[in-house]
Amino acid sequence: MNFEKDLAEFVIKISKAEYSEARFEEEESKIFILKNGNFEPSIEEKSKGLGIRIINNGASFVSISNLSKKKIRESVKRALKEAKLSSPILLSEEKANRASYKYVKDFASEKEIKDFLISLDKRISFPWIKSKIFILKNILTKKYFVNSDGSKIYSEIQRFYLEYNIVAKENSKIEQRNFVFGSSGSWKDFLSLKVEKKIEEEARIMKEILKARKNKKGKFDVIFAPELIGIIVHESCGHPLEADRILGREAAQAGESYAKINSIGLRIGSEKVTIVDDPTIKKSFGFYLFDDEGVKARRKFLIKEGVINEFLLNRETALVLKTKSNASARAMNYTREPIVRMSNTFMLPGDYKLEEMVEDIKKGILIKSFTEWNIDDIRWNEKYVGFESYEIENGEIKNFIRRPTIETTTQEIYSKIDACSKDLEFVAGVCGKGEPMQGVPVWMGGPYVRVRELRVK
């Protein structure tokens, strides 16, 4: 990597801008696709290049794959020119960091990965399963970040990502599950998620879900399992507390936010609700120790005991809000500018056991996993459709029910939470934001959470 480090540093040397940063990245992806027991072509992608961001009055970003010095000189010149055409911006002052870290550990052989997929396929070969698609990606990212403030950070992170799509059919009924698992570190870390057991269990119960009756409509106490609470906190806490959305920079794309710049201190939920974003969790899909502006990562308390406590900030938004960055700037790779992103967003556990939370419900629903969901562009009006879902009657979990649908608001969910379990589980996702689109790896999760009196459709 020495040669490429030199190229990133060359950018800083020749740029005469107020601020310059360069990311040299090399990413290798191996993609294995098993569709209904048949391997599609093996796919390998290798991507290497420089992302150059310059602030010279305004901001510019130039990304190149040709790494000749001539091309780099041309690109820096172009970036300097383009930056002058943008409106002025400033960045918060941050400590210059020098670091090098690797989170790779062992590699997986192709045979191990293929055998794993074949065994997954066999495990769910039930008569009612009519389509099985598995896509497993093994991604190794090597990155060298350098900026004109003096930061120099090298990192190597390996990630594994499994996306699967299962279709179950019986008589004329169809159920479909499309979901993902992901982790960073080693293949063993990925295997420790025990995804094969979870997927087998899902495929097994799809038979029951096909037979299940539609839930009764009305108001119910709802227990959301960690998978649900993960997507809820990601969509209705993490996204709306991204400071760039609050300040309008994403207005024409991912949208704006119900939160305003003066929303810090505003109560939005019950005292049981504390939601954090933390990139430093080992094994997590959203793992990093320094962000893509060179700032050291830390846990952020977005909502603390029901009150909005902190936004996700990069250096630009931190300066506007007269504070310091909390290391939330991420770029998908060297082809993208760093923007404000989540990492691993989750609700902190409480002190209940799941059984205690169920015992206290007369008429309720437990939703363990979901299919469809969506949310409006200020992150207020949201919908979740249950996949594995049960009715609760007089303190007992009873029958499967089919597709209970919750259509609610952020405040309604957070303010009606009265109990969180001691558990903490995560699911993975590739979060989309920015234009051009940037998909970044994240975890999301939490405990089992009880929400009183929600309208269920």
**Within positions 106 to 135, which residues make up the interface with other proteins, using CB under 8 A?**
110, 114, 130-131, 133
CB atoms within 10 A of CB 95: 11
- Shortest distance (Å) from residue 209 CB to other proteins: 12
Binding of other proteins by 87 (CB under 8 A):
yes
Binding of other proteins by 211 (CB under 8 A):
no
Which residue in the set 18, 156, 170, 377 belongs to the binding site for other proteins (CB under 8 A)? 377
Which residue in the set 1, 42, 355, 422 belongs to the binding site for other proteins (CB under 8 A)? 42
Amino acid in position 260: K
Q: Which two tokens stand for residue 180?
A: 């993902």
Q: Which neighbouring-strand residues pair with 218?
A: 456
282-341: contacts with other proteins (CB under 8 A)? 335, 337
Which residue in the set 18, 196, 200, 407 belongs to the binding site for other proteins (CB under 8 A)? 407
- Shortest distance (Å) from residue 15 CB to other proteins: 15
CB atoms within 10 A of CB 180: 16
Which residue in the set 381, 397, 416, 430 belongs to the binding site for other proteins (CB under 8 A)? 381
Report helix, strand or coil for 318.
Answer: helix
In the complex with other proteins, which residue's Cβ is closer, 385 or 451?
385
Binding of other proteins by 409 (CB under 8 A):
yes
In the complex with other proteins, which residue's Cβ is closer, 413 or 419?
413
Closest C-alpha to 189, from 98, 284, 116: 284
Binding of other proteins by 351 (CB under 8 A):
no
Binding of other proteins by 452 (CB under 8 A):
no
The span from the CA of 149 to the CA of 151, in Å, is: 6
Contact 247, 320 (CB under 8 A): yes
Binding of other proteins by 373 (CB under 8 A):
yes
- Shortest distance (Å) from residue 303 CB to other proteins: 20
Which residue in the set 186, 408, 421, 438 belongs to the binding site for other proteins (CB under 8 A)? 408
In the complex with other proteins, which residue's Cβ is closer, 62 or 237?
62
Spatial CB neighbours of 13, under 8 Å, sequence gap ≥ 6: none
How far, in Å, are 32, 117, 129 from residue 113 at the CA level? Answer: 8, 6, 22
Spatial CB neighbours of 146, under 8 Å, sequence gap ≥ 6: 5, 8, 9, 11, 12, 21, 22, 152, 153
Which residue in the set 374, 393, 422, 453 belongs to the binding site for other proteins (CB under 8 A)? 374
Binding of other proteins by 388 (CB under 8 A):
no
Output the CA angle 211-455-269, nearest 5 degrees: 125
Binding of other proteins by 263 (CB under 8 A):
no
Which residue in the set 1, 16, 40, 219 belongs to the binding site for other proteins (CB under 8 A)? 40
In the complex with other proteins, which residue's Cβ is closer, 355 or 435?
435
Q: Which two tokens stand for residue 239?
A: 């996204």
In the complex with other proteins, which residue's Cβ is closer, 58 or 395?
58
- Shortest distance (Å) from residue 376 CB to other proteins: 5
Site string for other proteins, 43-82 (x = CB under 8 A): xxxxxxx--------xxxxxxxxxxx--x---x--xx--x
In the complex with other proteins, which residue's Cβ is closer, 96 or 251?
251
Report helix, strand or coil for 202.
Answer: helix
Q: Which neighbouring-strand residues pair with 381?
A: 409
Which residue in the set 176, 263, 270, 415 belongs to the binding site for other proteins (CB under 8 A)? 176
The span from the CA of 333 to the CA of 66, in Å, is: 16
The span from the CA of 311 to the CA of 254, in Å, is: 17
Sign of the dihedral defined by the CA atoms of residues 440, 147, 57, 93, in that order: positive
The span from the CA of 330 to the CA of 63, in Å, is: 15
Q: Which two tokens stand for residue 434?
A: 């920015």
Closest C-alpha to 172, from 144, 133, 210: 210
The span from the CA of 337 to the CA of 329, in Å, is: 9
Which residue in the set 33, 140, 264, 430 belongs to the binding site for other proteins (CB under 8 A)? 33
- Shortest distance (Å) from residue 84 CB to other proteins: 9
- Shortest distance (Å) from residue 202 CB to other proteins: 14
Count of residues in contact with other proteins, rule CB under 8 A? 79
Max Cα distance, the chain (Å): 74
Binding of other proteins by 436 (CB under 8 A):
yes
152-171: contacts with other proteins (CB under 8 A)? 165, 167, 169
Which residue in the set 106, 359, 435, 453 belongs to the binding site for other proteins (CB under 8 A)? 435
Helices 195-211 & 110-123 angle (0-180, nearest 10): 20
In the complex with other proteins, which residue's Cβ is closer, 228 or 297?
228
Q: Is the peptide bond before 436 cis (omega within 30 degrees of 0)?
A: yes
Q: Which neighbouring-strand residues pair with 23?
A: 51, 145
Binding of other proteins by 403 (CB under 8 A):
yes
Which residue in the set 109, 178, 394, 399 belongs to the binding site for other proteins (CB under 8 A)? 178
Binding of other proteins by 18 (CB under 8 A):
no
